[in-house]
Amino acid sequence: MSKIKNALISVSDKENLKSVLQILKKNKINVISSGGTYKSIKKLGFNCVEVSQYTGFEEMLDGRVKTLHPKIHSGILFKRDKKTHKKQMQKKQFDPIDLVIVNFYPFETVIKKTSSKDKIIENIDIGGPSMVRSAAKNFKSVTIITDKNDYSELIKELKKFKGNTTLSFRKKMASKAYGSTAYYDAIVSEWFNRDIGLKFPEKKTFFGKKISQLRYGENPHQKSSIYISSLKHDNINLQQLGGKDLSYNNYNDIFAALDILFSGLKMPSTVIIKHANPCGVSSNRSAYQSFLKAQASDPISAFGGIVACNYKINKKIALEINKTFFEVILAKGYDKNALKILKKKKNMRIVDISKFNYESKTTGKFFDNSFLLQEKDDLVFHKKKLKCVTKNKPSKKELQDIEFAFRVCKYIKSNAIVVVKDNSTIGIGAGQQNRLDSCKIAIQKAKQFQPKHLPNSIAASDAFFPFADGIKTLIRAGIKTIVQPGGSIRDKEVIEAANKAKIKMIFTGIRHFNH
């Protein structure tokens, strides 16, 4: 147990302070505070000693120096069971500080509200994190509280143990305190990195705030949670309007769908995702036709998938959606009748993505004690650097389908082959260990569901063809145009096969592996 005699309170968020002050008063615990917190405590009718009076040192530099004083930090840090520490404290006539309640300047809030660098920098807290680190380090004797949500647990401790706290509670709060300082410093660090355009610093820290615990991870035996890591937003701006709670796999598929949906598709577009791979993508002047064509690409795989739309869903589209089982529907709004129809399926998650937008320029993957970080793949290809390597040249309309096919291709797990007709996928081969198998799967899908659209269609490959066998498979199926990066040592052999079949082939010079 650790008896509390003196407490220091310095909080930016002053909510729920009264309940804490009441229990401190009941246990005859002295309170030290400064600035706005001091005024709030006095206004609530409780006794409090102002920090400057306590230290005998007036705050200076516009409040930048207040609690950075030996009397404060000695009171927090001294070891109560060490004789030399006790003697030094007695000689200086410094009292112990046994409870520290601190939350930081609202740096995170300020950067979301203003672009003024002066205001932002002034909201970098120095004294607060310093006291928190000191108190957390000395958890054997000092209780540190950094979250107002822990006030109730502190009150329970003080009530149960008559003004004392247990070691297990102090250690738990110390762990949380270091999480708070690490989170705070990571946000400040990331703001500086973005301000100077530094994507890959020598030392990289990630920050995250837990949004919710999910039912489980990819599988029922795995635990999982979702976090927000943003300098601009307090949530991920996915507004759920109906259905069951979103799962880990739902979120994984949602993010895969949003990557495609917000990749620059200009017309009304629909993306249907299954296990993080698209099974249908279509852009059309008619939103309704866009949905129908995306689903028609692979209706079997679409079952149980998620639908993402960059348009507002109306009654007609909602009725069509409800004919099939989908896990999640994402759209830029829903009219009243559409929402009423979709909510009839109680388990289907309905999400509004109207306010969703991207923030980070990088993406990462974690592997135990290491991680990879890279720039996002925002490029499709350089139009001026496209090279037609065959005798036959594509038309302007074909160039539109070429761009659509290659754009979709970069979001499919490699090896990836996408077959397209009129801005709609008709066959997708994904995630195979060799490109020939991906070609075969894409053709098999097209023959199964869209055979009439296969002749004169366009195929895209995320990387070069190492042999001519892949393009020969596509050619035999009726494909007349192929777009690929090029760059194989057998490019000449591949081009000869294309010319012999009198098809058109475009080299982009850009590869789109997606592992």
State the catalytic residue, choosing from 85, 275, 312, 343: 275
Per-residue three-class SS string for 426-437: EEEECCCCCHHH
- CA 8 to each of CA 48, 51, 81, 93, 139: distance values in angstroms, whole numbers, following the listed order: 10, 9, 21, 17, 15
State the catalytic residue, choosing from 14, 18, 137, 447: 137
| CB atoms near residue 64 (< 10 Å) | 11
Report helix, strand or coil for 25.
Answer: helix
The candidate with the shortest Cα–Cα distance to 411, out of 376, 375, 449, is: 376
Q: Which long-range contacts (CB under 8 A, 24 or more apart) does 449-456 make?
A: 449/296, 449/297, 449/298, 449/299, 450/296, 450/297, 450/421, 450/426, 453/421, 453/422, 453/426, 454/419, 454/421, 454/426, 454/427, 454/478, 454/479, 455/480, 456/421, 456/480
Cβ-Cβ contacts under 8 Å for 268 (sequence gap 6 or more):
283, 284, 285, 286, 287, 290, 309, 310, 311
Q: How far is CA 71 from the centre of its chain?
A: 42
- Please list the residues that pair with 225 across neighbouring strands: 213
Annotated active-site residue 275? The verdict is yes
Q: Residue 40: phi, psi to the nearest 5?
A: -65, -40
| CB atoms near residue 309 (< 10 Å) | 26
The answer to whether 426 and 420 have CB atoms below 8 angstroms apart is: yes
Annotated active-site residue 515? The verdict is no
The candidate with the shortest Cα–Cα distance to 28, out of 47, 14, 10, is: 47
| Token reading at 371 | 């991680």
Q: Cα separation of 86 and 79, whole Å?
A: 8
Catalytic annotation, residues:
137, 275
